[in-house]
């Protein structure tokens, strides 16, 4: 790679010639403040916070988009630069809703951090504050246009990365806002509730629908048996809210915290992930052997399901009929568990802790009540759980419980890796391979479906059957893959799709990392490591060997794909050509 040498603040730096000044400064360990910038997502130089002085240039330049050149001299901290940044920030703050103490992003707001960093002690400009209505009609995402700073990160994520494109800048000049078309609510457009817009917003203009009060009320209700179920990706990221290093697994801390909050039982959704593999693996084998609709496409990501219903209704018959692990587990707990524990299912209140905002939408789907009761009562994101733990005031680092509760017990490693892109595929291959071979196999790690590439492909020879598989994460990649399938350019038996880039570990409900961290650290890879490490260290790593799942079939369902299993564990989908929500 061709390199160039430049000087930044009198420090010589050698970097690739396609770098920007911002990247070169980062390589030299020189921090340039940014606001609208988010690497690989929003690199437009719009906010002008990152301006620098370049010798020979007539004006200050935005470091995030200005290319390096051999011999260039850059100055990041001159009086002219500091003054320009301060004036720009003061103008942004002048019409910003400054109710910081009651904002969900208080303490984790990039605008707030910049005001501290640039030593803004008073505002010279008095802007005109917006008084626009709050958009809180979506079951998942709340949009507060009064806090929007027009950085356009959410627009880039929704339009360019996810290709959902339900929000954009509208109006002009001082009236410019970010909004769905014609002033509609997010609930009136084909938003898929993925929440990726929330994770890139630097302020509190976008947030999840907060359901913590519902949970506090349930925990205080002595007539209810309140159960928590947790997704695998939660344990890979929850620690970040309490100062743990990114990628630190905090399973025991999480279980302990939930018990101290007052939950009667804490169960692992990974058990239902194992159950999903049994049902989905059976479905895949049946379709291959009996000429069923192929490719079979996974159905555990509700953001992806809604995207498919809106944009690719012709693929609805390709979707696995399996409910997501969350919904399966709810149905099991309000039937099998209720029967075993002798508890009236009407008294069981299930709180699902998820890395996902789309799960809040999923529990409201009318078909998710096959037991006669809602499968799940409330969904909390990882962030909401963190807020409850902080509100309760105890030390998250303290561990008092080590394991999930019986009778659902600890799950397999295959269930754990569901939280990373490629994890569902790998878990399925572990089980399907042994079913086809009729024997235990040494191969457990299907590394060809791991990693953070947008689309991965694998061909696996199992007995006398060749299974062609593909994995896509992020809806933009899903669109590319499905368009290839539609055009006859790709042929697969099995496809895994996750709505969020990286899969659940970087879901819309996960801890929010600012641009200065997210732009330079691969969050999806670091968090996934926590899951793969846990998988490797567990004694059981195959879904079909999970003793809890075996007992479920022996005592209750009979066999995978049985009539009872279909009644409780499977579902159907709805074409949404006209975009009703």
Query: 359, 360, 456, 542: which one is catalytic?
Result: 359
Among residues 36, 103, 158, 300, the one annotated as catalytic is: 300
The one-character DSSP state at 135 is B
**Residue 500 annotated among the catalytic residues of the structure:** no
Task: Provide the 3-class DSSP secondary structure of residue 45.
Answer: coil
Bridge partners of residue 7, in order along the sequence: 12, 73
Catalytic residue, candidates 31, 367, 402, 554: 367
Calpha distance 414→401 (Å, rounded)? 23
Burial of 12 per CB tally in 10 Å (0-12, 13-18, 19+): exposed
Q: Are 394 and 257 in contact (CB under 8 A)?
A: yes
Among 504, 515, 534, 542, the one annotated catalytic: 504
Annotated active-site residue in 53, 208, 279, 280: 280
Q: Tokens 């709050």 label which residue?
A: 134
Catalytic residue of the set 362, 384, 434, 526 = 362
Catalytic residue among 138, 320, 324, 412: 320
- Bridge-based pairing state of the strands 296-297 and 348-354: unpaired
CA–CA distance from 523 to each of 143, 242, 276, 446, 464 (Å)? 25, 17, 26, 22, 39
Verify whether residue 306 is a known catalytic residue: no
Q: Among candidates 576, 567, 111, 92, which has minimal Cα distance to 321?
A: 567
Side-by-side strand order, sheet with 225-230: 265-268, 225-230, 348-354, 378-381
Residue 509 three-state SS: coil
CA 352 – CA 268 distance, rounded (Å)? 10
In whole angstroms, what separates CA 25 from the centre of its chain? Answer: 30
Closest CA to 420 of 448, 380, 451, 445: 451
| Residue 443 known to be catalytic | no
Rounded distance, CA 433 to CA 544, Å?
11
The three-state secondary structure class of 382 is: helix
Q: Among candidates 493, 509, 494, 164, which has minimal Cα distance to 326? A: 509
Closest C-alpha among 24, 17, 36 to residue 150: 36
Q: Using CB atoms within 10 Å of the CB of residue 187, give its burial: 0 to 12 exposed, 13 to 18 middle, 19+ buried.
A: middle
Its sign, for the CA torsion 418, 421, 425, 427, is negative
Per the listing, tokens 């109006």 go with: 171
Asked if 148 is an active-site residue, the reply is no
**Given the residues 53, 283, 426, 526, the one annotated as active site:** 283
Q: Which residues are catalytic?
A: 280, 283, 300, 320, 359, 362, 367, 504
């Amino acid at each position: 790679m061709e390199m160039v040498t430049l000087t930044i603040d009198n420090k010589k730096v050698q970097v690739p010639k396609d770098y920007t000044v911002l990247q070169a400064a980062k390589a030299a360990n020189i921090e340039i403040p940014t606001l609208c910038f988010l690497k690989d997502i929003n690199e437009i130089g719009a906010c002008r916070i990152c301006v620098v002085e370049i010798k020979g240039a007539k004006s200050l330049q935005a470091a995030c988009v200005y290319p390096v050149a051999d011999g260039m001299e850059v100055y990041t901290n001159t009086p002219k630069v500091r003054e320009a940044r301060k004036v720009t920030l003061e103008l942004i703050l002048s019409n910003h809703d400054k109710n910081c103490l009651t904002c969900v992003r208080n303490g984790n707001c990039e605008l707030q951090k910049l005001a501290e960093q640039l030593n803004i002690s008073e505002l010279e400009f008095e802007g005109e504050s917006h008084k626009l209505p709050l958009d809180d009609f979506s079951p998942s995402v709340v949009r507060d246009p009064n806090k929007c700073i027009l950085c356009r990160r959410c627009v880039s994520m929704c339009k360019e990365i996810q290709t959902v494109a339900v929000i954009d800048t509208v109006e002009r000049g001082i009236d410019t806002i970010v909004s769905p078309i014609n002033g509609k609510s997010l609930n009136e457009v084909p938003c898929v509730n993925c929440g990726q817009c929330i994770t890139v917003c630097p302020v509190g203009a976008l947030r999840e629908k907060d359901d913590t009060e519902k949970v506090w009320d349930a925990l205080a209700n002595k007539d209810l048996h309140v159960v928590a179920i947790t997704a695998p990706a939660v344990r890979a990221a929850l620690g970040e809210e309490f100062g743990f290093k990114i990628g630190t697994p905090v399973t025991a801390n999480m279980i302990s915290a939930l018990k101290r909050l007052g939950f009667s039982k804490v169960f692992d959704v990974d058990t239902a992930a194992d159950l999903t593999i049994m049902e989905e693996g059976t479905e895949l084998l049946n379709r291959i052997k009996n000429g069923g609709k192929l490719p079979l496409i996974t159905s555990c990501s509700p953001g992806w399901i809604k995207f498919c219903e809106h944009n690719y209704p012709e693929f609805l018959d390709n979707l696995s009929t399996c409910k997501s692990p969350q919904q399966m587990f709810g149905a099991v707990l309000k039937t099998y568990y209720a029967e075993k524990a002798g508890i009236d299912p009407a008294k069981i209140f299930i709180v699902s802790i998820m890395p996902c905002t789309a799960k809040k939408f999923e529990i409201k789907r009318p078909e998710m009540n096959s037991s006669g009761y809602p499968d799940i009562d409330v969904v909390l994101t990882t962030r909401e759980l963190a807020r409850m733990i902080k509100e309760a005031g105890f030390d998250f680092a303290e561990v008092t419980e080590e394991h999930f509760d019986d009778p659902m017990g600890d799950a397999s490693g295959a269930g754990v890796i569901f939280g990373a892109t490629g994890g569902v595929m790998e878990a399925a291959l572990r089980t399907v391979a042994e079913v086809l071979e009729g024997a235990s196999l040494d191969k457990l790690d299907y590394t060809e479906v791991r990693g953070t590439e947008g689309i991965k492909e694998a061909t696996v020879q199992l007995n006398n059957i060749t299974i062609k598989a593909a994995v896509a994460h992020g809806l933009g990649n899903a669109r590319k893959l499905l368009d290839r399938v539609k055009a006859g350019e790709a042929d697969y038996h099995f496809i895994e799709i996750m709505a969020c880039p990286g899969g659940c570990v970087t879901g819309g409900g996960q801890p929010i990392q600012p641009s200065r961290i997210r732009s330079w650290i691969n969050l999806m890879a670091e968090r996934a490591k926590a899951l793969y490490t846990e998988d490797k260290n567990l004694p059981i790593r195959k879904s079909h060997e999970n003793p809890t799942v075996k007992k479920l079939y022996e005592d209750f369902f009979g066999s995978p794909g049985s009539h009872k299993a279909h009644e409780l564990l499977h579902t159907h989908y709805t074409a949404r050509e006209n975009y009703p929500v």
